[in-house]
Amino acid sequence: MDDPDAGRLCRWEGNVESNAIHSVPKPQIIRWTDWHDPDWHAADIRRRSKVITSIPDKPVSTDGDLYADPGLPDTWWTALRHALTTLQQHPVPEQNFGWLPKYTAEGVEQFFNTKLPMELFTTQVTWTTAHGDLHWINITRPRLWLLNWECWRRAPTWHDAATLYRSNLFHPATAQRIHPLFPQLDNHSGTIAQLAAINRYLRMSEDPESTAKLHALGQRLVQRLILSLTCH
């Protein structure tokens, strides 16, 4: 079921509209139906049920973050690189994400006590199509499939790679595997994408212990990213 009030990063028609994306390993929405649920927290909420193509492969992890070696072969990583490269070639959705640079800049200041010029988050940033919520629950093995497309949208280039890299900070060995696979994370847009991914996690996390751990682990990374932005 989809809840249209899930937040501005995701949208009601996201999963259905993702049927337009081709040559990326993803399920298709076959049919759907909407209805109103008047009993949900005493509010008249619109609901949607969907029939989706069956994916027999299992998520890489039952947690969005990774804490152990997933043991994925080189062919799997190559398929991931190809899938994200192909996705970025899809026409960029016409959405208003003008708030995202300010949202990220404010997060950097809030969580890492660093105020950066707003132009760093807007100038030289390229935007492409992204899955928007690419963590280990939404990726399968042994065959690669990308699941749950309600958040697909326009984002800074390599945003998905940055999100996946962020979700591996609890397991540095896998993080070190991802970074060389996506060297563009070191360019300007990739740097902004990494800051956006870390900021989103810290803002949305409901687990104080995990938030504190990520903040500690991300401190050195964020300082390196900030240095990269301000030295150019």
One digit per residue, the tens of pLDDT, for the chain of length 232 reads: 333 334 556 666 778 889 999 999 999 988 877 777 666 555 567 777 777 899 999 999 998 888 899 999 999 999 999 999 999 999 987 766 677 889 999 999 999 999 999 999 998 899 999 999 999 999 999 999 999 998 899 899 999 999 999 998 889 899 999 999 999 999 999 999 999 999 988 888 777 777 787 778 778 889 999 999 988 6
Q: Contact at 8 Å (CB) between 146 and 22?
A: no
Q: Measure the CA–CA gap between 128 and 91, rounded to whole angstroms.
A: 8
Tokens of 145: 């499939």
Q: Per 3-state DSSP, what percentage of the chain is helix, strand, and coil (rounded to 5)?
A: 45, 15, 40
Q: How would you label 193-229 residue by residue, b for 16+ Cβ within 10 Å and e otherwise? A: bbbbbbbbbbeebeeeebbeebbebbeebbeebbeeb
Q: Which fold has domain 58-230?
A: Aminoglycoside 3'-phosphotransferase; Chain: A, domain 2 (3.90.1200)
The pLDDT of residue 50 is 75
Pinpoint the residues of the chain covered by CATH 3.90.1200: 58-230
Taking the alpha carbons at both ends of the chain, their separation in whole angstroms is 46
Tokens of 223: 């300082």
